[in-house]
């Protein structure tokens, strides 16, 4: 499985670590992915999503229904959730 957020499609970034002597080594910044179950009252069902902690904060603020609608119109929603 790829390290991607199911709702927003966020993926890992590449970059460099810098030592004290300013030597650069390649580094991959991985996502803080969490597997969570959400209840959607309009559809009367549970869905399991792999989301980042930033997405979890957005869901807590806006609600799962609003975030799902936003991801659907943006086109970043994982196809298995339709």
* Residue 32 is assigned to a structural domain of this protein: yes
* Residue 1 is assigned to a structural domain of this protein: no
Q: Which domain holds residue 71?
A: 13-77
User: What CATH number is given to the structural domain containing 46?
Assistant: 2.30.170.40
pTM of the shown model:
0.79
Position 32 scores a pLDDT of 94
Q: For residue 46, what are the β-bridge partners?
A: 39
Per-residue pLDDT of the chain (82 residues; tens, 9 = 90+): 578 898 988 999 999 999 999 999 999 999 999 999 999 999 899 999 999 999 999 999 999 999 999 998 888 876 666 5
Tally of domains within the chain: 1
* Residue 55 is assigned to a structural domain of this protein: yes
User: Are 74 and 2 in contact, with CB atoms under 8 Å apart?
Assistant: no
Position 41 scores a pLDDT of 92
* Residue 3 is assigned to a structural domain of this protein: no
Half-sphere exposure of 53 (CA within 13 A, CB side): 3
What does the angle CA 57 – CA 60 – CA 66 come to, to the nearest 5 degrees? 110
DSSP-assigned letters across all residues of 26-64: EEEE---EEEEEEEETTTTEEEEEEEEHHHHHHHHHH-H
* Residue 34 is assigned to a structural domain of this protein: yes
For 22, phi then psi, to 5°, come to 65, 25
């Amino acid at each position: 499985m790829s390290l991607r957020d199911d709702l927003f499609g966020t993926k890992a970034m590449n970059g460099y670590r810098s030592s004290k002597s300013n030597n650069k080594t390649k580094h991959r910044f991985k996502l803080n992915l969490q597997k969570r179950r959400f209840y959607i009252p309009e559809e009367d069902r549970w869905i399991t999503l792999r989301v980042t902690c930033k997405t979890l904060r957005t869901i807590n603020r806006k609600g799962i229904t609003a975030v799902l609608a936003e991801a659907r119109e943006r086109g970043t929603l994982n196809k298995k959730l339709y």
